[in-house]
Structure 1
Amino acid sequence: MSSLRLPDGFTDVFVSRFVQLDGLRLHAVTGGDGPPLLLVGGWPQTWYAWREVMPALAREHTVVAVDSRGAGLSGKPDDGYDAGTLAADLVALMAALGHDRFDVVGHDIGMWTGYALAADHPERVGRLVVVDAVIPGLTPIPSVFSPAAVNQRLWHFGFNRLTDLNEELVRGREHLFFGHQFATKAATPIPAYAVDVYVDAIVADPRGLRASFAYYRALDETIAQNEQRKETRLTLPVLAVGGARYSGALVADTMRLAADDVTGVVIDDCGHYVAEEQPARFIEILRDFLGGRSASELPAR
């Protein structure tokens, strides 16, 4: 982590580590003391997306910020990018770290994984926080001829699912393609050095670009799983956080289709990348929820 720009004192608390599972190596950054808290990032990011909130959370939690299969320094096998397999990976990771029960915060495709974790492994997850995304197979499918503003947010779903052409078009232009994602989804610009960390992690591994699209190529499987998952409603407390200038209340609306105890929070002046755009506000919200109050008791903001 010495080459990364990090908050003061970060490396005094956190360590980078690899955990070897059955045929898969996962990378995580861990630190802190208290009840375990798993942070699951989104596309096309790594554990680094949580850097601004991790020190505060580590004062009250043992924090595990993971690179999921296919991301960052974790292994990039040819398959296993459906939400169910990603969730099973993280149950195995947390067990290997000595955590049989834990809370989960998932952003973007990490929200898909977080939902699968809570649904498939209810005995493992205490509280679930989902951040600024929709869930394929749960959220109603938008029309092909959606308004331009909706298409601007969601066009990458179709592009990323292509078999080969997307890789051919993006290879050598990764900073253009992924940089556009960050530039158009954030209300407060993500620092250039952070965008470089995410894009360079994809470029550095010859399997990185393929793996970055693999989550979307597995969507048929993930959708089929979620259509089964939603038959059994979640009963654990769920906090659904959206950026006012991106997904907003749609995050909570999505989770209410699958869970009974949901509180929605919409953060003003915020786009898709809540933990980086509004870290102080996000920390406050997480502390309230993770501190023991049920979602139904937590005042919406």
Structure 2
Amino acid sequence: MDSKNPQSNDSQAVSRSRRQFLRRAAALGGGLVAWPRAADARGARPEGSAQVRSGTFVTSDGVGLHYLEAGRGKPLVLIPGWSQTAAMYWPQLQALSRHHRVIALDMRGHGDSDKPAGGYRIARLAKDLHEFLEKMDGGNITVAGHSMGCSVIWSLWEQFGRSRVDRLILIDQAPAVTAWPGWSEDERAEAGTLFTPQSLYDTAAGLAGPDGVRVSEGLVRGLFSSSFPEDALAEVIEQNLKFPRAAAARLLVDHCGQDWRDLIPTLDVPTLVVGGEVSIFHPRSQQWIARQIPGAQLSIFSASEGGSHFMFLENPDKFNQLVLDFLG
């Protein structure tokens, strides 16, 4: 969708409806369906597919971080969102690795990385990422983050500066997920808010409680459009649940309590901002981010293009081409 075209009243209503659904998803939950597991990087490869390698990086506090890697050339590092995994970037590992060295990282506690007792804060995840990037061979690096992965990137920038990062891809993250009391509807839309302080802590309590799995299923379902296949959705939920629920709840509170609106205007490298017309985060929040970064490119996926919070899974062909065009 052309970012200059206003949303229709219908699409605005869809966006509002989806955000309302997510806020009540913790109470409603959802059903888990079975499907065959996604392709394993260690297994046999279909003809024409990329060879995906797995590895482990150990942080300064002894935590093993699992990662998947494919391709050669200039590096592109992919950071998943809250409770998501490197394996969820499988379409990008396959397609983008034909042109670039692509690495998808499981953050601590997530996916197949170690599950330590602590460190589930954005600042610590950013330090983990900094250590990982500093140990990589080669030159400068493009870093892409989805959802909370953007917050990790923003914290990396705040703590360590540009370092080796020469390009950024920011995929659908609100500058401020939790609204302050008294904010107007316009302020909420531009900040991309999803929670109130009370609803954030209620959701975290649900995740950490005895119904944490059901709460998680409901939250994940609210992140996709209704046309996303049930078997693929079940796999996403399975990946999500690799992160222990109590730790996920603590990280959610830390993540959603951040307000990055003062930091975003300090970004001064070429940046691609990607959002979705029917994402949980209002498209105006992505437009705001793009306006703060000199020369930033903006792409908002329409509803018909799979423009949910997970547009890179709902429409990987369009997303992958967008990234390739940006990287040049």
User: Given the two structures, how large is their TM-score scaled by the length of structure 1?
Assistant: 0.78
For the pair 1:279 / 2:312, whether they are aligned, the reply is no
For the pair 1:243 / 2:276, whether they are aligned, the reply is yes
**How do 1:216-295 residues align onto structure 2 when only pairs under 5 Å count?**
216-219=252-255, 222-223=258-259, 226=260, 229-230=263-264, 233-246=266-279, 247-257=282-292, 259-269=293-303, 270-291=307-328
Q: CA deviation at 1:14?
A: 0.4
Q: How far apart are the structure 2 equivalents of 1:266 and 1:165?
A: 33
Distance 1:260 1:251, change over 3 A: same
Q: Is the 8 A contact 1:30 1:64 kept in 2?
A: yes
| Bigger mean CA offset, 97-106 vs 33-42 | 97-106
Distance 1:132 1:167, change over 3 A: closer
Q: CA deviation at 1:210?
A: 1.7
For the pair 1:200 / 2:235, whether they are aligned, the reply is no
Provide the aligned C-alpha RMSD in A. 3.4
What residue is the counterpart of 2:3 in the other structure? none
SS in 2 for 1:239: strand
Work out which of the residue numbers 245, 253, 258 in structure 2 matches 1:209: 245
Q: CA deviation at 1:110?
A: 0.7
Q: Deviations over 1:142-194 (max 9, x none)?
A: 857869x97x982497545469732454x3451x3222223222225444344
Q: Is the 8 A contact 1:118 1:128 kept in 2?
A: no
Q: Is the 8 A contact 1:101 1:126 kept in 2?
A: yes
Work out which of the residue numbers 4, 10, 15 in structure 1 matches 2:53: 15
Q: How far apart are the structure 1 equivalents of 2:130 and 2:139?
A: 8
Q: Is the 8 A contact 1:32 1:58 kept in 2?
A: yes
Structure 2 counterpart of 1:265, one-letter code: S
For the pair 1:61 / 2:100, whether they are aligned, the reply is yes
- In structure 2, stretches of 5+ residues that fail to align are 1-35
What residue is the counterpart of 1:295 in the other structure? none
Distance 1:44 1:195, change over 3 A: farther
**How do 1:1-301 residues align onto structure 2 when only pairs under 5 Å count?**
3-5=37-39, 8=46, 12-22=50-60, 23-99=62-138, 101-119=140-158, 120-136=160-176, 141=180, 143=182, 154-155=194-195, 159-161=199-201, 165-169=205-209, 171-174=210-213, 176-187=214-225, 189-201=227-239, 203=241, 208-219=244-255, 222-223=258-259, 226=260, 229-230=263-264, 233-246=266-279, 247-257=282-292, 259-269=293-303, 270-291=307-328
Structure 2 counterpart of 1:181, one-letter code: L
Q: Is the 8 A contact 1:19 1:96 kept in 2?
A: no
By relative contact order (CA 8 Å, sep 6+), the higher-ranking structure is: 2
Q: CA deviation at 1:113?
A: 1.4
Q: How far apart are the structure 1 equivalents of 2:257 and 2:268?
A: 24
What residue is the counterpart of 2:7 in the other structure? none
SS in 2 for 1:185: coil
Q: CA deviation at 1:116?
A: 2.7
Distance 1:265 1:201, change over 3 A: closer
Q: How far apart are the structure 1 equivalents of 2:290 and 2:119?
A: 24
Q: What is the percentage of aligned positions where both structures have the same residue? A: 23
SS in 2 for 1:253: helix
SS in 2 for 1:17: strand
SS in 2 for 1:218: helix
The count of residues paired between Structure 1 and Structure 2 equals 279
Q: Is the 8 A contact 2:93 2:103 kept in 1?
A: no
SS in 1 for 2:110: coil
Q: How far apart are the structure 2 equivalents of 1:204 and 1:185?
A: 18
| Bigger mean CA offset, 242-251 vs 121-130 | 242-251
Structure 2 counterpart of 1:41, one-letter code: P
Q: Is the 8 A contact 1:49 1:275 kept in 2?
A: no
Structure 1 residue ranges (4+ consecutive) displaced by more than 6 angstroms after TM superposition:
none
Distance 1:95 1:9, change over 3 A: farther
Structure 1 counterpart of 2:166, one-letter code: G
SS in 1 for 2:266: coil
